[in-house]
Chains A and B, each alone.
Chain A
Amino acid sequence: MSQMRRGAIEYCVLALLRDRDMYGFELTRALSTAGGLVASEGTVYPLLTRIRQDGLVETFWEPSPQGPPRRYYRLTNDGRLALATFRAQWREFRDTVDAIVKGSDE
């Protein structure tokens, strides 16, 4: 279950980055605000490190208007591709699980 959730969170990160680049604090706060997704903001960073190593996101530094420079995360082409693939797979997976779970419920 935690493995499944972890996988889903990674794609949530990619989805958040689809429309705009975000810096770590912004990204992890967005995920932790969406209830029940992550245990804490800090636990997102290991995931960020990994999807960066995997080439799905890349980072760059930007000066902050207030405080230290920020490390921004940006979706790569591979990341976009992975997200698109996941969206299709997820829809199918969700529908199948829904159908079975609802079916056994009623």
Chain B
Amino acid sequence: MTTNSDLDQIVEQYLSRLKVALADLPAERRQQLIDSITDHISEARVALSANSEVAIRDILDRVGQPADIAAEALTVQAPPPLSRASSTRRATIAVIAIVVVALLVFGGLLVSRSNNGIRSTTTSTVTSVSMVVVPDVVRLTLGAAQAELQAVDLLIGQVFISACAGSPGPPGVVTSQAPVGGSSSAKGSQIRLTVTSSKSCP
């Protein structure tokens, strides 16, 4: 037959184990915790219809292992607690703000960079697509020169006709061009040519 004092003793033993497990806590917190759990066990016992050993052990089982409670008590000291949640939240907002600012700054840089990229792409596009190498048309007839230039989308600009035909060679032959052959020029731009005259030099 288990007497009430036997049951008290089971509870006392449990509380002693709990005290040992909580040894690392500050004294005040340890006492607070032990008081709370002592009250808890008392309440649970009051609610019992029959104060049997099985019932008491069941209550203590529900309260849990002293080691678990100690682990919880030691853990909750360190992690971000609730009231600090508001300051944590403020810190979080600050961090978010910093990240947003950083993103904006970096994003701005990236955008301006990519804009630059687009610009340089455009430029290189101009270089590769819109720019052509001017063919050398010197010594060609005007007609042949025109064909050569048209082939690369260049136009004949001003045509200077020499005052008179050069010593050798037929008339209507290109003697010089600007820009010169081999240089690059934008598509559609005009090439100035000088051709020999059909007039014989005096």
| Contact (Cβ within 8 A) B79 A49 | no
Alpha-carbon separation in the docked complex, A46 to B33 (Å):
7
Residues on B with C-beta less than 8 A from A46 are 33, 69, 72-73, 75-76
B68: interface (CB < 8 Å): yes
| Contact (Cβ within 8 A) A56 B39 | no
Q: Of B32, B43, B63, which one neighbours A49 at CB under 8 angstroms?
A: B32
Alpha-carbon separation in the docked complex, A55 to B29 (Å):
16
Q: Of A6, A40, A67, A85, which one neighbours B43 at CB under 8 angstroms?
A: A67
CB distance from A60 to the nearest CB of B (A): 14
Alpha-carbon separation in the docked complex, A11 to B37 (Å):
21
Alpha-carbon separation in the docked complex, A6 to B81 (Å):
10
| Contact (Cβ within 8 A) B69 A6 | no
**Which B residues lie at the A interface, using CB under 8 A?**
18, 29, 32-33, 36-37, 39-40, 42-44, 46, 61-66, 68-69, 72-73, 75-77, 79, 81-86, 89
The contact sample of 25 A-B pairs, CB cut-off 8 A, is A6-B75, A6-B79, A25-B44, A26-B43, A40-B63, A40-B64, A40-B68, A42-B40, A42-B64, A42-B66, A42-B69, A43-B69, A43-B72, A45-B37, A45-B40, A46-B72, A46-B76, A48-B36, A49-B33, A50-B82, A54-B81, A54-B83, A67-B43, A68-B43, A85-B85
